[in-house]
Structure 1
Amino acid sequence: MNEPHDLDAWRKGERTRLIDARMAVPASGREERTLRIAAQLEELIGDPAGLVVSAYWPFRGEPDLKPLLKRLRERGATTALPVVVRKAEPLVFRAWRSGARLERGVWNIPFPADGPEILPDIAIAPVVGFDRACYRLGYGGGFFDRTMAALPRKPRFFGVGYAEQEIATIFPQPHDIAMQAVITESEIVRPA
């Protein structure tokens, strides 16, 4: 497959198409799929005791992993959420637990208002799209790629999404960072 002449326009079109398809799935269908994704993630993580696990606050039909984070905390993990500090800068991760005070950030997404900044052992990112090489098509801000490149210690980096978000390729560029796996409701995709 040849790279499109205008990659930015192609990615923008794919984002719109994939988000519209995700939002068209009834909430009950997304919940059912999310339960399967969470079960596979929990198995992939293994014993979470002593680990820092970061996920995200769900947005625009993304899998809601807050119940998984609660279970991981109950099993000894510290949980965190990413925080956008400034546009075009790496994310920071703040400790978070259900009931903690939240503030609204970029795109009105809640983030921990008070938790300390911590480095995750496992970072879970939502995907808008993904390919079999485990490259992630996100919302276009480059936050997760920039963050993974800047962290002093590389966490295990997983993407989550629904099976129909798979595309043939995202046409990865030098700044794109592959994830170790993408977890969908039907499988765990690992780079070949």
Structure 2
Amino acid sequence: MAEKRYPDPEIREYASPPCFAHELSSEYDGQSEPGDSWSDILRWRKAERQRLIEERLAIDAEERRARSNRIASRLDLAIGKVSGRIVSGYWPFRGEPDLRNWAIKIIERGGRIALPVVIRKGWPLEFRVWRPGDPLERGVWNILVPSRGPSVLPDVVIAPVVGFDGANYRLGYGGGFFDRTLAAMHRRPLVVGVGYAGSRLRTIHPQPHDIPMDVIVTDD
């Protein structure tokens, strides 16, 4: 089966978690540690976001594809059986690992794929079932989302990370969507963070509202 090629996500496609690039700051160089106040930690996180996103955008496209494939093979080990389960994926953005072909294989193996949808800023995400060929539309923040479909509760949630630490805490884009969504779920899914090994931090300085991933899967 020929590998399906999608449009270049760096040009016109958007991720499920929205980008808060307008909030990024260059005040810190990524080398200093923040103070204890929440405002210090916020500034540090924004600077780390900027640094890590710039680093992954600098990765050659072929190398990024190879790393994505390594992550996909390790995801199979982390998740196990997928038949009859709903797996929430994401649409790759700003150099994130591209797992869309892996998602199609999940469907071929009897699973279902859902994509997260931003309903409104400050609200939990909604998950909608998606298959190749289903219509997509640009939702809030111009994000590609399924234009229709039932809302479902995933058994597995794949969450792309900008950064992560040894305690499996995820540094995201700053909107708090995944933390808010996990906190609101009445049944906890298996939550798997995915990212590049070079995105590992000593700590993200987690706060009470931060929810750790169950496991982090990288290319290393």
| Common topology (TM > 0.5) | yes
2:85 corresponds to 1:48: no
Counterpart in the other structure of 1:157: 191
Query: TM-score under structure 2 normalisation?
Result: 0.82
* Residues 127 and 152 in structure 2, CA contact (< 8 A), matched pair in contact too: yes
Counterpart in the other structure of 1:181: 215
What is the distance in 2 between the residues matched to 1:24 and 1:110? 24
2:107 to 73, 76, 88: 73
The root-mean-square deviation of aligned C-alpha atoms, in Å, is 1.2
**Residues 110 and 65 of structure 1, relative CA distance in 2, 3 Å threshold:** same
How far the C-alpha of 1:98 sits from its partner, in A, is: 1.1
**Residues 90-169 of structure 1: pairs in structure 2 closer than 5 A:** 90-169=124-203
Count of paired positions? 186
Counterpart in the other structure of 1:62: 96
User: Higher Cα Rg: structure 1 or 2?
Assistant: 2
Give the match's secondary structure for 2:93: coil
* Residues 91 and 100 in structure 2, CA contact (< 8 A), matched pair in contact too: yes
Counterpart in the other structure of 1:36: 70
What is the distance in 2 between the residues matched to 1:23 and 1:162? 12
Query: TM-score under structure 1 normalisation?
Result: 0.94
How far the C-alpha of 1:3 sits from its partner, in A, is: 4.7
What is the distance in 1 between the residues matched to 2:133 and 2:100? 11
* Residues 196 and 219 in structure 2, CA contact (< 8 A), matched pair in contact too: yes
* Residues 59 and 109 in structure 1, CA contact (< 8 A), matched pair in contact too: no
* Residues 120 and 140 in structure 2, CA contact (< 8 A), matched pair in contact too: no
Letter of the structure 1 residue corresponding to residue 194 of structure 2? V
Letter of the structure 2 residue corresponding to residue 159 of structure 1? G
Letter of the structure 2 residue corresponding to residue 18 of structure 1? L
* Residues 119 and 140 in structure 2, CA contact (< 8 A), matched pair in contact too: no
* Residues 127 and 159 in structure 1, CA contact (< 8 A), matched pair in contact too: yes
4+ long deviations beyond 6 Å: none
How far the C-alpha of 1:108 sits from its partner, in A, is: 2.5
Letter of the structure 1 residue corresponding to residue 190 of structure 2? R
Gaps of 5+ in 1: 187-192
2:123 to 89, 101, 107: 89
Cα-to-partner distance string for 1:43-84 (whole Å, 9 max, x where unaligned)? 221121100000111110101111111001000101100000
2:39 corresponds to 1:25: no
